[in-house]
Structure 1
Amino acid sequence: MKYCFLSKVLIYAVLFFLLYSCTQSNVSQKEFTTSIDIADSLAQYNAIKGIQNLDSLKLNFPEITPEQEALLLFKKGEIYYINDLYVESILEHQKATELFAKQKDTYNKTRSLITLSAANLRLKNIEKAQEFALEALQNANLLEDKRLLAKANNQLFQLHFSLEDYPKAMEYIKKADRIFVDQKDTTSIIAIKGNIASIYLKLKEYNKALQTYQEALQLGQNSKSPQTIVSILNNIGYTYIETEKYATAATFLEGAIKLNQNIGAINGAPYKGLGYAYFVNNDFETAKLYYNEAFTIYQQNKNIPEQIQILDKLITIAIRGNNSEQALNYQLQRDQLQIDNQAKETESLLHFATVKYQAKEKEADLLYQKQLNKKNRLLYGSVLVALVLLLILVGSYLYITKLKAANRASQLEQSLLRVQMNPHFIFNTLAAIQNVTLDQDPIKSSNYIAKFSKLIRQNFDYVRKEEIALEQEISMIGNYIETQQLRFHNSFVYQLDLAKDQDIKSLKVPPMLLQPFLENAIEYGLKDKKSGGVLTLQIFKENNALCFVVTDNGIGRSHQAKEQKKSTELHATDIFIERLKLRKKGEEKTFKIEDLYNLEQQAVGTKVSFKIYFI
Structure 2
Amino acid sequence: MKTIIFRALLFCFLLLGKINASLYAQYDVDSLKRVIANPKLHDTARLTNIAMIIDNLYEDKESERYNALMGKIAQKHLNESGLNSELKKKYTMYLAAYYNNISYAMENKGDRRALSYLQKSLDLYRTVEAYDEYYSSLVSKGLLLYRQKREREAIQCYFEALKFFEKNPKENADGISYVYSNLGVLYGEQDLFKESIKCLKKAIFYLDSKDTKPTLEDALQKAGMYYNLGAAYAARKEFRLATHSYRQAFKFAEITEQRSYQCYVLCKLSDIDLYFKRLDAAEEKLMKAKALAENELSSCGVLVALGELYFTQKKYDKAIPDLKEGLRQAIQIRNRNLEMEACHLLYKSHKAVGDTKAALAMAERFHQINDSLKIYENRKELKVQNLKYNYEKRDLQHRLEAQQKNYIVYGLSALFILLTVIVFFVVKNYRQKNAIAQFEKNELRQKLLRSQMNPHFIFNSIDNIQSLIYNQKPTEAVNYLTKFSKLTRQILEYSNENYITLEEEITMMENYFAIQQLLYNNKFDYTIDIPDELKEEPLLIPPMLTQPFIENAIKHGLKDKITGGRIQVRFYFKSAKLYFEITDNGKGFAQQETDNHKSLALKITKERLMYTSGNIDFSVKIENQTDTENKVIGAKVSFEIPYLYEN
Which whole-Å CA distance do the structure 1 matches of 2:313 and 2:406 have between them?
Answer: 64
1:523–1:360 distance in 2 versus 1, CA, 3 Å: closer
Is 1:54 the counterpart of 2:54 in the alignment? no
Q: Name the structure 2 match of 1:178.
A: 209
Query: Of 104, 112, 120, which aligns to 1:95?
Result: 120
Query: Of 108, 117, 129, which aligns to 2:158?
Result: 129
1:411–1:279 distance in 2 versus 1, CA, 3 Å: farther
Is 1:195 the counterpart of 2:195 in the alignment? no
The answer to whether the 8 A contact 2:177-2:202 is kept is no
Q: Name the structure 2 match of 1:36.
A: 54
1:242–1:158 distance in 2 versus 1, CA, 3 Å: farther
The answer to whether the 8 A contact 2:165-2:175 is kept is yes
Query: Of 515, 519, 522, which aligns to 1:480?
Result: 519
SS at 2:598 equivalent: coil
Q: Name the structure 2 match of 1:153.
A: 176
Deviation digits for residues 235-266 of structure 1 (CA, Å, limit 9, x no counterpart): 6666777888676566666656654x524557
Which whole-Å CA distance do the structure 1 matches of 2:607 and 2:309 have between them?
Answer: 32
* Counterparts of residues 508-527 of structure 1 (less than 5 Å): 517=553, 523-526=559-562
Deviation digits for residues 422-441 of structure 1 (CA, Å, limit 9, x no counterpart): x9x899x89xx9xx9xxxxx
The answer to whether the 8 A contact 1:114-1:136 is kept is no
The answer to whether the 8 A contact 1:416-1:575 is kept is no
Residue 223 (structure 1) shift: 2.0
* Counterparts of residues 244-255 of structure 1 (less than 5 Å): none
SS at 1:130 equivalent: helix
Is 1:262 the counterpart of 2:303 in the alignment? no
Which whole-Å CA distance do the structure 2 matches of 1:412 and 1:104 have between them?
Answer: 49
Which whole-Å CA distance do the structure 2 matches of 1:175 and 1:453 have between them?
Answer: 50
The answer to whether the 8 A contact 1:127-1:355 is kept is yes
Which whole-Å CA distance do the structure 1 matches of 2:276 and 2:349 have between them?
Answer: 23
Is 1:411 the counterpart of 2:441 in the alignment? no
Residue 173 (structure 1) shift: 3.9
* Counterparts of residues 270-349 of structure 1 (less than 5 Å): 324-337=356-369, 340-342=372-374, 345-346=376-377, 348-349=378-379
Which whole-Å CA distance do the structure 2 matches of 1:194 and 1:226 have between them?
Answer: 13
SS at 1:179 equivalent: coil
1:519–1:321 distance in 2 versus 1, CA, 3 Å: farther
Q: Name the structure 1 match of 2:141.
A: 116
Question: Unaligned regions of 5+ residues in structure 1, if any?
Answer: 1-18, 43-49, 437-441, 483-492, 499-508, 527-533
The answer to whether the 8 A contact 1:291-1:314 is kept is yes
The answer to whether the 8 A contact 2:70-2:98 is kept is no
Which whole-Å CA distance do the structure 2 matches of 1:407 and 1:296 have between them?
Answer: 41
SS at 2:294 equivalent: helix
The answer to whether the 8 A contact 2:225-2:249 is kept is no
Which whole-Å CA distance do the structure 2 matches of 1:84 and 1:241 have between them?
Answer: 35
Across the aligned residues of Structure 1 and Structure 2, the Cα RMSD in angstroms comes to 6.6
The answer to whether the 8 A contact 1:193-1:212 is kept is no
Query: Of 371, 375, 381, which aligns to 1:351?
Result: 381
The answer to whether the 8 A contact 2:43-2:73 is kept is no
SS at 2:210 equivalent: helix
Q: Which moved more, 1:326-335 or 1:392-401?
A: 392-401
Query: Of 542, 565, 570, which aligns to 2:598?
Result: 570
1:274–1:150 distance in 2 versus 1, CA, 3 Å: farther
Which whole-Å CA distance do the structure 2 matches of 1:33 and 1:137 have between them?
Answer: 29
The answer to whether the 8 A contact 1:201-1:239 is kept is no
Is 1:374 the counterpart of 2:404 in the alignment? yes
The answer to whether the 8 A contact 1:237-1:253 is kept is yes
Which whole-Å CA distance do the structure 2 matches of 1:234 and 1:383 have between them?
Answer: 58
Residue 179 (structure 1) shift: 0.7
Which whole-Å CA distance do the structure 1 matches of 2:265 and 2:566 have between them?
Answer: 52
Residue 24 (structure 1) shift: 12
Letter in 1 for 2:251: Q
SS at 1:153 equivalent: helix
Letter in 2 for 1:158: S
Residue 345 (structure 1) shift: 2.3
Letter in 2 for 1:480: L
SS at 1:191 equivalent: helix
Residue 154 (structure 1) shift: 0.7
Which whole-Å CA distance do the structure 2 matches of 1:389 and 1:257 have between them?
Answer: 61
1:299–1:150 distance in 2 versus 1, CA, 3 Å: same
The answer to whether the 8 A contact 2:223-2:250 is kept is no
Q: Name the structure 2 match of 1:501.
A: none
1:401–1:218 distance in 2 versus 1, CA, 3 Å: same
Query: Of 231, 250, 253, which aligns to 1:220?
Result: 253
SS at 1:262 equivalent: coil
Normalised TM-score (structure 1):
0.58
Residue 115 (structure 1) shift: 3.0
1:386–1:207 distance in 2 versus 1, CA, 3 Å: farther
Letter in 1 for 2:253: G
Deviation digits for residues 459-495 of structure 1 (CA, Å, limit 9, x no counterpart): 755654744489856753553244xxxxxxxxxx969
Letter in 2 for 1:479: L
Residue 220 (structure 1) shift: 3.3
Residue 127 (structure 1) shift: 1.5
SS at 1:22 equivalent: coil
Which whole-Å CA distance do the structure 1 matches of 2:401 and 2:605 have between them?
Answer: 59
Deviation digits for residues 511-549 of structure 1 (CA, Å, limit 9, x no counterpart): 8987765555874244xxxxxxx44669999999xx999
* Counterparts of residues 446-525 of structure 1 (less than 5 Å): 460=488, 463-464=491-492, 466-468=505-507, 476-477=515-516, 479-482=518-521, 517=553, 523-525=559-561
The answer to whether the 8 A contact 1:76-1:92 is kept is yes
SS at 1:183 equivalent: coil
SS at 2:404 equivalent: coil
Q: Name the structure 2 match of 1:530.
A: none
Letter in 1 for 2:157: K
Residue 352 (structure 1) shift: 3.2
Which whole-Å CA distance do the structure 2 matches of 1:372 and 1:549 have between them?
Answer: 64
SS at 1:128 equivalent: helix
Residue 22 (structure 1) shift: 3.0
Letter in 2 for 1:95: K
Q: Name the structure 1 match of 2:537.
A: none
Q: Which has the higher Rg, Structure 1 or Structure 2?
A: 1
Letter in 1 for 2:560: Y
The answer to whether the 8 A contact 1:78-1:115 is kept is no
The answer to whether the 8 A contact 1:458-1:476 is kept is no
Deviation digits for residues 573-598 of structure 1 (CA, Å, limit 9, x no counterpart): 969998999999xxx9999976799x
Which whole-Å CA distance do the structure 1 matches of 2:330 and 2:382 have between them?
Answer: 24
The size of the alignment, in residue pairs, is 525
The answer to whether the 8 A contact 1:353-1:395 is kept is no
Which whole-Å CA distance do the structure 2 matches of 1:268 and 1:396 have between them?
Answer: 47
